[in-house]
Chain A
């Protein structure tokens, strides 16, 4: 399986510095949560890893080997945030998932596509439909199925559950966590939902204006946030009123 390592990563767009001096290790088989405010550079870090953002400083290593600077099929897969833009409007969702399947598996394609769609809670009979017939949440699940189809060694999930319903979100997170544990891929989980990050991640990294300001084991960071940004993020969680006593089983 694979580990992901960022060493002094910097990304500049023209004269604007989006990310600077980020050192981060996502160890093999573990989950790292990347959190931060709006425009703090979370998505840019994810894009830099797959070659979609220009790396202007530092190195990105997967299993100790440099990631190519241009996008191409590597062990890293990325799922985007916006479900309305991440699927080709002219390609049926089944074809979109099939495109990601490794070559060797082409023979069992239809069955595998159906399995993956079922896995993310989409009726496999919808495989022939175009994305426009799906609601936003349904599209995002297809995008996730597509990324999983490529059997990634490192998965970058950029706000993948922010457009999902709680019911589905739970299923997707359970699924992600189970698959992550079973298959052992490293997961970089970019999210603004700290409750979800707390549940899913072994360690948590906090970005602020393109710089890493805090990084550590989840429980510790949540309990004793050292940086102001982390404290602000924690205080912004909408507080749910106390609810019905824990549901008995």
Chain B
């Protein structure tokens, strides 16, 4: 589209000069190294003590595997949090700053359509998010070499899920911040996406797991569930929970895993695609209606 490439290019250049993204990235990067290094030191301390693995309840390999599991599950949480922070940081500024500063006045007087502008902004926001979260994930992947390995695919799957979820949040913030103040937009998005949707998804999951008996409640939440965006979940979350239970010596059952989200199915992924299109459409609509 005419002009959307230029909008995307210069929005990315601006993002790369924004200190807050750099700060998020550095904190994330240091956190991952510290976490991996710390767990590895823990292992070394345990291994250097001959008594540690003598009793026979855990051998060195199992312990190492356990630490790696621990690391990966923390990394999953950290990636999800940082992806969300970065999605908010980009979503709150990519379009809003142009509107708030008045830059949009000069930009919109140029021969660029609002569609091309919105497309360029969305493209830049998504690329920015993927680059930052991707670099953090690469770093986590490198740290995993410290351990035995074997969980790399889990990391990739979870990375995809985390980025996919963050894109939805970012598009919501982008569109809402085109109408209202960006801090309000973040609050509105947080309430909609992280609170309301979170509650609906959790109740729906519990109902699916058989923990809610009342059929009427189950039906209501079945309907609500398909009115809100779905957080995508990779199979890694359940695999990890299963492995942790096994390492602790327990037996895995459906009951024990009921509160651990099941991997997203094709329906959820299709629904995700639909929500991305819908919210991208909303961004365009907001940009188009906007007077500056």
- State whether these chains interact: no
